[in-house]
Amino acid sequence: MKLDQYRLTEEPAYHASGNEVAFYEAAYEARLPVMLKGPTGCGKTRFVEHMAWKLGKPLITVSCHEDMTASDLVGRFLLGPEGTHWQDGPLTLAVRYGAICYLDEIVEARQDTTVVIHSLTDDRRILPLEKKGELVHAHPDFQLVISYNPGYQSVLKDLKESTKQRFCAMDFTYPAAGIETAIVASESGVAPDVAGRLVRIAEKSRHLRGQGLEEGASTRMLIHAGRLMRSGMSLTDACRLALILPITDDPDMRDALEAAVDACA
């Protein structure tokens, strides 16, 4: 099989916070494209991996960046010993052979790039390869998933209305304290009470979102802090290393966060 390397062999751990698994399954059943919204590090990518594993489908992930062109997604001609030959891009691969294609941080890509997905996300389910003169009809297993961080202050960085309206959307936030504690504990291996304290610290930092911080500490950061603690670091140091210093360069905010860590320690 062409896509074997994209299959997940082990179950990616995922703690559901609500009905998202059932919702996703329903969307997949109808082969509707899905948009995952939420702050960075809250588990969007992990969720997609988990669902791909659960549904037994290969998963092709593309991290979008601002210089990405349509051919980076769709494919291009390459020069080979025999002359030129066509190389499918990740999106075409997924469309042709039936995978879940996950475009991470889609808003980063230029808006003219994102329009190539339009014909795939309505009832046509086709991908025209203009350069090659081919029209690829989507494999029945194909599904498109995009993620998107609505973020703070990004007035002008938004999806086109015509893109937005093709998707079902699922809103992700940081999991509830209990679930997040379980995640941090199981992913980093720290004791649940320590994980609970880390989660509380993260909550404090999330209160400052938009009040000096662009984003609060993510679940991913907590796991990092937990791993540092597993290797013998104190809570204060681990939080400094894994949370406070990465998140902000503003001395006042660092100071406030350190004091908040102290309050929770």
Least CB distance to another protein at residue 187 (A): 23
Query: Rounded to 10 degrees, what is the CA torsion of 195, 202, 20, 123?
Result: -140
Q: Which value, to the nearest 10 degrees, does the dihedral of the CA atoms of residues 240, 217, 197, 224 take?
A: -60
Residue 10, CA atoms < 13 Å, CB-side half-sphere = 2
Integer Cα distance of 122 and 137 in angstroms: 12
Give whichever of 5 and 211 is closer to another protein, judged by the CB atom: 211
Segment contacting another protein (CB under 8 A): 8-16, 69-77, 99-107, 166-174? 69-77
Q: Segment contacting another protein (CB under 8 A): 50-58, 101-109, 121-129, 248-256?
A: 248-256
Smallest gap from residue 40 Cβ to another protein (A): 16
Asked if 11 interacts with another protein (CB under 8 A), we say: no
Query: CB under 8 A: which stretch of 47-55, 90-98, 181-189, 202-210 binds another protein?
Result: 202-210
Range 36-55, binding another protein (CB under 8 A):
none
Q: How far is CA 3 from the centre of its chain?
A: 21
User: Judged by CB under 8 A, does residue 264 bind another protein?
Assistant: yes
Which positions from 129 through 188 interact with another protein, judged by CB under 8 A? 131, 150, 152-158
Q: Which two tokens stand for residue 218?
A: 């993510």
The token pair that represents 240 in the structure block: 């400094």
94-116 in b/e form (b: 16+ CB < 10 A) is bbbbbbbbbbbbbbbbeeebbeb
Interface residue with another protein among 5, 30, 79, 231 (CB under 8 A) is 79
Stretches 54-62, 77-85, 133-141, 219-227: which one binds another protein (CB under 8 A)?
77-85
Q: Is 200 in the site for another protein (CB under 8 A)?
A: yes
Binding of residue 221 to another protein (CB under 8 A)? no
Q: How far is the CB of 69 from another protein (least distance, A)?
A: 8
The residue among 1 and 156 lying less far from another protein, judged by its C-beta, is 156
Distance CA 90, CA 99 (A): 10
Looking up tokens 């004091």, which residue turns up? 259
- Given 109, 183, 208, 223, the residue binding another protein (CB under 8 A): 208
Which of 28, 51, 36, 50 is CA-nearest to residue 142? 28
Pairing verdict, β 126-129 and 134-137 = antiparallel
For position 262 contacting another protein by CB under 8 A, the verdict is: yes
Minimum distance, C-beta of residue 76 to another protein, in the bound complex (Å): 6
Structure tokens at 50: 């988990």
Rounded distance between C-alpha atoms, residue 132 and residue 223, angstroms? 46
- Give the distance between the most distant pair of CA atoms in the chain: 68
Smallest separation (angstroms) from another protein to the CB of 255: 4
Interface with another protein (CB under 8 A): 67, 69, 71, 76-79, 83-84, 131, 150, 152-158, 200, 204-205, 207-208, 210-212, 251-253, 255-257, 259-265
